[in-house]
Structure 1
Amino acid sequence: MSMFHATQQKVLNQYLAELQGDINVSFEFFPPRSDGMEKILWETINKLSTLNPIFVSVTYSANSGTRNYTDKITKEIKKRTGLIVAPHLTCINETPQALQMIAQEYWNNGIHNIVALRGDKIKKNHQSSMYAADLVCLLKKIGNFDISVAAYPEVHPEAKNAQSDLINLKKKIDAGASRAITQFFFDVEQYLRFRDLCVSVGINTEIIPGILPIFDFRQLQHFVTFTKVKIPDWMYVIFHGLDHDVDTQKMLGTFVAIDMIRILIKEGVRNFHFYTLNRSDLTYAICHTLGTKNKNA
């Protein structure tokens, strides 16, 4: 390491030390479909809950038909841990009447946080009658939900262009969303440009970066086939030849995420949302390294 970079690192480490306890995290989980997966999920939740997340979210996909699983896990997390839980709610295959019933049940059960999404298309040419902005409006009529919506620094895969995608995000915010959480990304500059564009069109709510810790680079390459997320060339270089070396992939994945977050912190970001894939090891290591406050410490 050159003297210049060593000095930079020292300054950055000092800056991070000063931010101890000033970084907030949230975590995404998905509903388990087997007893073994459920055991892993609860081990993950118990481990990550010690980091005092500001909320956790539970996914739902119309493609997998897991609404009952989502509801069950959401209620169990709230009951067992007392954490604020935000279930994903999609509108692409639901009627307004059905959505009102689901939302009312959540509200009546003390679940007042929602991640509002249009949802994935089951059929390629499916034409949705409702979009996320419509869902936000519907939720606000039921109760004063705290609503998170999705944002796409590298543009939604189905958007006509970046401008139309940005306009759609503004509609969701104007409808009453409290914040946006981004799709995972690896180009920090792209996120920062996107955040500036949001401000330029009057989006003043927080744009929380979504962080995906890498523990399986081949799996990551599969994920990006149905998103517009770009994997930088340098990542292909550092993960080359490591398909069967899980430990090294985890180590590199941790370093990649920490470096991204360090830059984002310098740019004023304080809240981070982790796509955990129901695994605690990398996310916990990253948050611990960054000084996230541990209630058991």
Structure 2
Amino acid sequence: MSLLSHYNESRPAISFELFPPKTEEGMEVLCDNVRQLCEFKPSYFTCTYGAGGSTRGTTLSVLQRVREITNLPVASHLTCVGSTVAELESYLAEAVAQGVDYIVALRGDPPKGTDKFVAVEGGLNYANELVEVIQGKFSNLGIAVAGYPEVHQEAPDAKTDLENLKRKVDAGADIVVTQLFYDNIDYFRFRDRCVAAGINVPIVPGILPVTNFKQAQRIASMCKAGIPYDLEKAMNATDDPQSQFEIGVEHARQQTINLIENGVPGIHYYVLNKSDAAKALLDGIQMVG
């Protein structure tokens, strides 16, 4: 099933993002959570990897296990960081051989300790170049790229950021998955700007439930995502972990309901290898666009 076809269904497509665990015990916990998440009939799972490709092998192992458990399509993240074109093509060939269906094509963050991305000799500078490589030799792979409702932290302005996104889509991306956001207005504004710019692929919102406020603040600061005043106030009013969990889950639940009511093609959940928050927020929601 093609990546784009998931978003042509009457029901919004749900997908979940995982990351490679560091231990075998962590892998077993991940697999158990994947089984629980299948209750919500996801269309596919994705898996990230460590900085500089440090866990690419584990990423493929995770995706292989997920396919065995779910019999669903799987997507591997892939960045340009620290890799030549030949190395990227080698990974793509291995991914295809292991049954990976889709690629989330990213430039990637600058290596730790630096604040500017610099391609290695023989490497790539931008995600649109990675999309072109995939299209050139691995055209059967579906391709997702990232979009930034609140503007990429390195972009000088929103217009430039949108132009960069259009280059990725024009190079052959099937869908755009957004960075996390906590105010749906930011997503709707971004979606409208994409349409006005001629970006005519599904713009899939990415949601990360706030279950621990300090962690959410750290993650949001890394990607320059704003936390709404009411959510911040409610979270700051309690130190109780369970109360923070419930507040965050309810916020993500209301985000989800509002997004579905406003016709999103699907929702991508950053679940951090856990199922409890996703299960709580999705419980009882009718996925009807």
TM-score by length of 2: 0.89
| In the alignment, structure 1 residue 156 sits paired with structure 2 residue 152 | yes
Match of 1:100 among 82, 89, 101: 89
**Which whole-Å deviations, capped at 9, do the CAs of 1:205-242 have from their partners, x for residues lacking one?**
01100011111011101112211101111112111142
Q: How many Å apart are 1:78 and its aligned residue?
A: 1.6
Corresponding residue of 1:146: 142
Q: How many Å apart are 1:64 and its aligned residue?
A: 7.2
Unaligned 5+ segments in structure 1 are: 1-20
Alpha-carbon distance in 1 for matches of 2:53, 2:100:
23
Alpha-carbon distance in 2 for matches of 1:95, 1:211:
32
Alpha-carbon distance in 2 for matches of 1:285, 1:125:
39
Alpha-carbon distance in 2 for matches of 1:160, 1:185:
20
Q: How many Å apart are 1:24 and its aligned residue?
A: 2.3
Q: Aligned partner of 1:183: which letter?
A: Q
Q: How many Å apart are 1:63 and its aligned residue?
A: 4.8
Corresponding residue of 1:6: none
Unaligned 5+ segments in structure 2 are: 1-9
Relative contact order: is structure 1 or structure 2 higher (C-alpha 8 Å, sep ≥ 6)? Answer: 1
**Which whole-Å deviations, capped at 9, do the CAs of 1:263-293 have from their partners, x for residues lacking one?**
2122211410000011101101222221359
Match of 2:24 among 17, 28, 35: 35
TM-aligned CA distance change 1:268 to 1:288, over 3 Å: same
Contact persistence 2:194–2:200 (CA under 8 A): yes
| In the alignment, structure 1 residue 55 sits paired with structure 2 residue 44 | yes
SS in structure 2 of the partner of residue 137 of structure 1:
helix
Corresponding residue of 2:6: none
Alpha-carbon distance in 2 for matches of 1:251, 1:109:
39
| In the alignment, structure 1 residue 246 sits paired with structure 2 residue 237 | no
Q: How many Å apart are 1:110 and its aligned residue?
A: 2.5
Q: How many Å apart are 1:168 and its aligned residue?
A: 0.7
Q: How does 1:1-297 map to 2 (within 5 A)?
A: 22-63=11-52, 65-122=54-111, 123-128=114-119, 129-143=124-138, 144-243=140-239, 245-292=240-287
Contact persistence 1:257–1:286 (CA under 8 A): yes
Q: Percent identity?
A: 38
Q: More deviation in 59-68 or 99-108?
A: 59-68
Q: Could you say what the CA RMSD is over the residues aligned between the two structures, in angstroms?
A: 1.7
Contact persistence 1:92–1:131 (CA under 8 A): no
The structure whose Rg is larger is 1
TM-score by length of 1: 0.87
Alpha-carbon distance in 2 for matches of 1:292, 1:188:
17
